[in-house]
Amino acid sequence: MLSANGIYKILFIIVFFQICCPLYGRTYTVGKNRDFNKISDAVHYARDNDTLLIEAGYYAEGAIVVDKKLTLLGIGYPIISGENKYEILRIVASGVTVKNILFKNAGVSFIDDNSAVRLDSVSNCVIENNKFYDNFFAIYLAQSRDCIIRNNVIKAANKKQTTSANGIHLWYCKNIVVDHNLIEGHRDGIYFEFVVKSVIENNTSRNNLRYGLHFMFSDSCIYTDNNFINNKAGVAVMFTRNVEMKRNNFENNWGAASYGLLLKEIYDSIIEDNTFKKNTCGIYYESCGRVKTANNLFLNNGWAIRLMANSMDNVFTKNKFIDNTFDVATNSSRNFNTFEYNYWNKYDGYDLDRDGLGDVPYRPVNLFSYLVVKNPPLLILLRSLFIELLNYSERIMPVITPSELTDNKPLMNKDYDTVK
């Protein structure tokens, strides 16, 4: 007969395993002649904290719903297909991790927003090291928070926006990290709407049908060290406050309605240390206020900056403007913004006191750029002798262009540190 002490020990062991086993979970293998043949059967049988090892193979099971805290780990990149009909994986439980899986052919549906992986009202999920080929939406997060989307390869080959959706799509989310992903061939590479306090870093978004990055109503987000290259319309940032965009590369976004960076109703934000190279327009400002644009390189753009009259109290400082067709264009005859300490390679002034600053102000808006904004077909006269004479006359005695839009402290060298 057991003593009281022995009974207590047995009860302790039973309680210990009841508590600890769910924490560490069990591992099941999915594959031919394994624990389960189908992923959906394994998900149905598993419990919280279990791990599903999915062996290489082809799985087409319709929509799979993950409603438990599981880890789905691919071995040899198993293929899970939506057969161009279905959503593939819908995650409705928090704490789910998905790694090393190839998702392909999520079906087109503008009603259901079919996705390869959809996170719906969850937190603390990780989508990492996966491949997404030819899906409608690739990764879709709705009303989720504290999730990580990292190191995924997302590609699509659609030619029309009417049959394409976004690579990484976030709606009503908070504290999301989007890091080291490659996105190409979708409608928008990365799309944010009503997203706050999130970080987008080290991604490459290229060759997309509309915007490489598109976000609206998404306050207090940070975008650093991303590449936005050769997207049909560039990058669009709208109706947002407190945005930081630093060390990004905006390159080769060409077209009649294309921009390196389009800003519309952006306030209290910082655009710093970015490169704008070979874009139709480097940055376009419409109804923007209190935006600091500093230390950026504008190289070989059509327009480096287009500044609409309804943009006020913005500061442009320590930027480098090199070999742009137009450095600054505006549709206003007045100026409510500050330009100082910028380097303009077209500046032909002098520095008699050798303090590193030009002794005469630089007027970055020439008459022709002002006229082209008012009447775009005039662009056909670019580089004509007549236009050069008009620009020269206006520079000496400004009548039409905003006389107040000047850089009174233009840098003589690209390096601001040479200023005394």
Helix (H, G, I), strand (E, B) or coil at 395: helix
pLDDT in tens, 153-170: 999 987 787 788 999 999
**In this structure, are 261 and 169 located in the same domain?**
no
**In this structure, are 206 and 268 located in the same domain?**
no
10 Å Cβ neighbour count for 301? 27
236 φ, ψ (degrees, to nearest 5)? -125, 130
For residue 297, the enclosing domain spans 252-365+402-419
Q: Is residue 393 part of a domain?
A: no
C-alpha span between 289 and 292 (Å, rounded) = 9
Range 369-390 average pLDDT = 69
**In this structure, are 196 and 53 located in the same domain?**
yes
Check residues 415 and 31 and name the one with the higher pLDDT: 31
Tokens of 7: 């009974």
Range 43-55 average pLDDT = 97
Quick one: pLDDT band at residue 62, thresholds 50, 70, 90?
very high
For residue 311, pLDDT over 90 is answered with: yes
For residue 254, pLDDT over 90 is answered with: no
For residue 17, pLDDT over 50 is answered with: no
Helix (H, G, I), strand (E, B) or coil at 368: helix
| Side-chain half-sphere exposure of 138, counting CA atoms within 13 A | 31
**In this structure, are 115 and 209 located in the same domain?**
yes
Query: Poorest-confidence range of 85-94, 270-279, 384-393?
Result: 384-393
**In this structure, are 194 and 343 located in the same domain?**
no
Q: Is residue 12 part of a domain?
A: no
For residue 387, pLDDT over 70 is answered with: no
Tokens of 183: 């996105």
Q: Is residue 9 part of a domain?
A: no
From 177, 197, 231, give the residue that closes a domain: 231
3-state secondary structure 153-207: EEECCCCCHHHCCCCEEEEEEECCEEECCEEECCCCCEEEEEEECCEEECCEEEC
From 200, 231, 262, give the residue that closes a domain: 231
For residue 395, pLDDT over 70 is answered with: no
**In this structure, are 52 and 92 located in the same domain?**
yes
**In this structure, are 42 and 136 located in the same domain?**
yes
Contact 396, 330 (CB under 8 A): no
pLDDT in tens, 207-239: 999 999 999 999 999 999 999 999 988 899 999
Tokens of 346: 């077209």
**In this structure, are 153 and 191 located in the same domain?**
yes
From 178, 198, 231, give the residue that closes a domain: 231
Q: Is residue 162 part of a domain?
A: yes
pLDDT in tens, 402-411: 677 889 999 9
**In this structure, are 319 and 349 located in the same domain?**
yes
For residue 43, the 8-state DSSP code is H
Q: Where are the alpha helices (DSSP H) in 34-185?
A: 39-45
Q: Is residue 7 part of a domain?
A: no
**In this structure, are 193 and 302 located in the same domain?**
no
CATH number at residue 224: 2.160.20.10
Q: What percent of the chain has pLDDT over 70?
A: 86
Q: Is residue 287 part of a domain?
A: yes
Quick one: pLDDT band at residue 13, thresholds 50, 70, 90?
low
**In this structure, are 218 and 271 located in the same domain?**
no
Q: Is residue 143 part of a domain?
A: yes
Range 94-116 average pLDDT = 94
**In this structure, are 56 and 170 located in the same domain?**
yes
Q: Is residue 257 part of a domain?
A: yes
Check residues 5 and 316 and name the one with the higher pLDDT: 316
- Give the chain's mean pLDDT: 89
C-alpha span between 403 and 201 (Å, rounded) = 40
Give the number of domains in the chain. 2
Range 65-82 average pLDDT = 97
Range 262-268 average pLDDT = 95
